Amino acid sequence: WSGAAAQDAGTVRKVALRVSSRGQAAMVVVDRGERDQVRRGDMVTFFPRAGGSFRGVVVKASERSAVVGLQDERAVLPPGTRGEVDVPESRFAPRQPSPETKPKTATEPGTEGTGKWRNKDESWKPGMPLLGAQRPLRPAERGATLSGRVFLIGDLTRTHDSFANSFLRAGTSLRVENPFGHGGGIKFDGEFDHRTEQNENEGNDLLVRSLSYFHGGTRFDATRWEIGRFLQHGVPELQVLDGAEWGMRRRNGDRFGASAGFMPQPDDDFESGKDFQLAVYYEWVSGTAEELVVTGALQKTFHSGRADRDLLLGKIRYLPADAWQLNGAVWLDIYDGKDKVKSRDFDVSQAWVTLTRQWGGSGVDVTFRRAVFPEMLRWEFQPLLAQDLADSYFNRLSLGGWQSGKSGRRLHGEVGVWQSQADTGGFGEAGISIPDVVAGARVDFTGFATLGEFTSDAGVRISCTQMRADGGWDLLYEVAYRHYDNYPSTLDDLIQHRLRVARSFRTDTGWDCSVRGEAHLFDEDFAWTLGVYLQRGF
C-alpha cells in the first residue's frame, strides 16, 4: 500500500487472518475482507507453521474475504496458515460529523439579505435521504479510469555451492474501468520471470496470469459475466480459467452461476489446453447483512478429452458481530469405481474449518485442517507412487489464543496435534509481544516445541518490528534444537539458526520498496538469500 495510507508510525493496525484456500498463480484466499477494512493493495505477512514468513499483496477484496498475491511464487501456504494484514488505523476511526456551516445561497434580484432560497427543492419530502431525489451515476456514465501496479521482485539464493532457486520477476497488474463506455472493465496481470533452475540452467518465462473483460455485477446490474483468462469470480477455489463465467444475484441476495473453459497448469509455464472444466455454483445468504453464507459448487474436468475429476466444493461463513464466527471449506472428490487407486466412492481431499471468538483485543480460535492427494489425470502434484496416493493423508487440529492489554502488550499461544499415515505428534508455542521496547519498536519473544514419533524440536524465536513514517524495520532470529530418534549418537542432535533482516520504504508518490537478507545455518549446511521487492500503485 502507498505511503499516503500511513502518515506516521502509529497508524497501522495488525489484523489477524487465516488462509481459507489456495488458488493458482501464487495466490491464496483469506478470511478477512472489506468488512474488516481490508482493501486492495494492503500488505499481508503470513507465518507458516514450518517457520519463517512470506509477504503478499491484496489483489482483490470482497465483503468478507480477499485474494492475496504472494511475492514468492514458490511459497506453499496450506489452509489455516495464520497471517496479519497491515491496515491503516484511520480506516477504523469513527466518522466525525462535519461542522455545521451556514450555506451560501443564491438570492433573487431584490431579495438580498432576506434569506429566501432560490431553489426550494420541492421534490424532497421529510424522511427521505438528503440525496433521495438525485439519480445515481451509472457505471456506463462514468469516465474511463486506469488503476493497477507495477512490481519487481528478486531473490539471490546461495545454497549447497549453487545459486539454485534464485529468480527475478517483473510485471504489472492493470484494471481499466469503463473502457468502451458500456460500464464494463478489463483486467490484466502479466510478468516476466528469470530463474536459475536446480540444474544451474537459466530459464525465462513470459506469463499472462490474467487477461479478461468483465461486465455487470453492480447494484445496477444483477448479472455479471467475464471472458478471457481470470481467477473465477463466483468461487475462486475453482482456480484460474481460460474461458467464460456467468453469474446472477437474486433480489434476496443469493447468487448462482456457471463457468466453462480450460484450466492452465499450475506450474512456471502456465500452459493451457489440456484440462477442460464445467462448473456450477449456488450461494445462499441469510438477511441483508449476510451474516451466514453457504456456498456449494460442482466442477467436472476432462484431461485431453478423457473424463477426469468430479469435485464437490462446499463453503460456510458465519460472521455475527459479537459471537462465535465460523469459516470453513470442504473439497469432496467423487469417484465412479473406474479409478485405478481410489476404491472409495468419495474422499474428503481437503478441508479447513476455523471457529473464532473475539473480545476486543483478545480472542481464541480452533482450527482443523485435512489434506489428501486426490486421484486425477491433471498434473497438479509431483509424481506419486500408487501406495502414497492411496494411503497418504494429513490431519491437524489446533487451539490458538491471544490477549492484548491496555499497555499494548500481547500474549499469544497455540497448541495442537497432527496425524499422518507415517507420523503422529503434537506442537505448541507461546509468546509475548511488547511495544516500544527500543525506539518505538515492538519485540516478540516466542518459544516453541514439536514432538513426533521420529523427531522432536524446541527453540526460541525473537522478532523486532519498528514502524516508521517512511516504512519500517523487521528483524528475526530463531534458534532451534532438533533430535532424531534411532540415529547414531553423532548425528541425532542438530542445531538450526535463522536470521532475517528487512527494511521497507514508502513514499507519498505510491512507491513501496523492501530489501531483505536471510541466513540459515542447519548444522554444517549454510544458505543465504538477498531479496528486493519494488512496487508502485496507481
Q: What CATH number is attached to the domain comprising 14?
A: 2.40.10.340
pLDDT tens profile 204-218: 889 999 999 999 998
Any domain includes 307: yes
Categorize the per-residue pLDDT at 5 as very low, low, confident or very high, splitting at 50, 70 and 90.
very low
Q: Answer with the residue of higher pLDDT: 484 or 132.
A: 484
Any domain includes 84: yes
Any domain includes 418: no
pLDDT for the residue 355: 94
Of the candidates 89, 105, 122, which is a domain's last residue? 89
Of the candidates 89, 112, 134, which is a domain's last residue? 89
- Cα 502 from Cα 50, distance rounded (Å): 20
pLDDT for the residue 238: 94
pLDDT tens profile 21-68: 776 557 888 888 888 889 888 888 887 766 667 788 888 888 778 888
The closest of 414, 450, 449 to 430, measured between CA atoms, is: 414
Q: Are residues 360 and 240 in the same domain?
A: yes
The closest of 465, 435, 432 to 446, measured between CA atoms, is: 432
Q: Are residues 188 and 70 in the same domain?
A: no
Query: What are the φ and ψ backbone dihedral angles of 91, each rounded to 5 degrees?
Result: -70, -25
pLDDT for the residue 173: 92
Any domain includes 117: no
| Cell digits of residue 144 | 474511463
Q: Look at the block and give the residue holding cell 449476510.
A: 290
pTM listed for this prediction: 0.76
pLDDT for the residue 10: 45
Of the candidates 359, 383, 404, which is a domain's last residue? 404
Beta-bridge partners for 29 = 21, 67
Q: Are residues 399 and 258 in the same domain?
A: yes
Alpha carbon separation from 510 to 43, 66, 148, 533, 535 (Å, rounded): 13, 21, 11, 14, 8
CA end-to-end span of the chain, whole Å?
Answer: 10
Q: Are residues 256 and 349 in the same domain?
A: yes
Q: Look at the block and give the residue holding cell 499516503.
A: 4
Any domain includes 285: yes
pLDDT for the residue 389: 84
| 523 Cβ contact partners less than 8 Å away, ≥ 6 residues apart | 494, 495, 496
Domain that holds residue 13: 1-89
- Cα 362 from Cα 404, distance rounded (Å): 6
Q: Answer with the residue of higher pLDDT: 301 or 106.
A: 301
- Cα 58 from Cα 524, distance rounded (Å): 38
Q: Are residues 381 and 259 in the same domain?
A: yes
Q: Are residues 212 and 330 in the same domain?
A: yes
Q: Are residues 71 and 184 in the same domain?
A: no
Q: Are residues 76 and 190 in the same domain?
A: no
Q: Answer with the residue of higher pLDDT: 346 or 439.
A: 346
- Cα 507 from Cα 5, distance rounded (Å): 10
Q: Answer with the residue of higher pLDDT: 447 or 71.
A: 447
Categorize the per-residue pLDDT at 201 as very low, low, confident or very high, splitting at 50, 70 and 90.
low
- Mean pLDDT calculated for residue range 125-149: 77
CA 179 to chain centre: 28
Any domain includes 29: yes
- Cα 42 from Cα 34, distance rounded (Å): 11
- Mean pLDDT calculated for residue range 337-345: 80
- Mean pLDDT calculated for residue range 10-30: 75
pLDDT value at 507 more than 90:
no
Q: Which amino acid appears at position 510 of this protein?
A: G
Integer Rg of the chain from CA: 26
pLDDT for the residue 106: 47
Count of structural domains, the chain:
2
| 27 Cβ contact partners less than 8 Å away, ≥ 6 residues apart | 59, 67, 68, 69, 70, 231
The closest of 102, 111, 54 to 77, measured between CA atoms, is: 54
Residues 311, 302: contact at Cβ < 8 Å? no
pLDDT value at 231 more than 50:
yes
Any domain includes 214: yes
pLDDT for the residue 523: 83
pLDDT for the residue 292: 93
What is the chain's mean pLDDT, rounded? 85
- Cα 55 from Cα 456, distance rounded (Å): 28
Lowest-pLDDT range, 16-25, 134-143, 315-324, 512-521? 16-25
Query: Which percentage of the chain shows pLDDT scores above 70?
Result: 87
Q: Are residues 45 and 181 in the same domain?
A: no
Q: Are residues 71 and 202 in the same domain?
A: no
Written as one string, the DSSP assignment of 225-237 is EEEEEEE-SS-GG
Tell me 74's DSSP state.
Answer: T
Any domain includes 207: yes
57 CB-side CA count, 13 A: 23
Lowest-pLDDT range, 308-317, 386-395, 514-523? 386-395
pLDDT tens profile 79-99: 778 888 888 877 877 655 545
- Cα 531 from Cα 533, distance rounded (Å): 7
pLDDT tens profile 422-471: 889 999 999 999 988 888 888 999 999 999 988 999 999 999 988 877 88
Q: Are residues 76 and 183 in the same domain?
A: no
The closest of 120, 115, 200 to 160, measured between CA atoms, is: 200
pLDDT for the residue 422: 87
pLDDT tens profile 513-538: 999 999 999 888 899 999 999 998 88
Q: Are residues 40 and 188 in the same domain?
A: no
Angle subtended at Cα 78 by Cα 170 and Cα 387, rounded to the nearest 5 degrees: 115
Phi-psi region of 407 (alpha: psi -120 to 50; beta: other; left: phi over 0): alpha
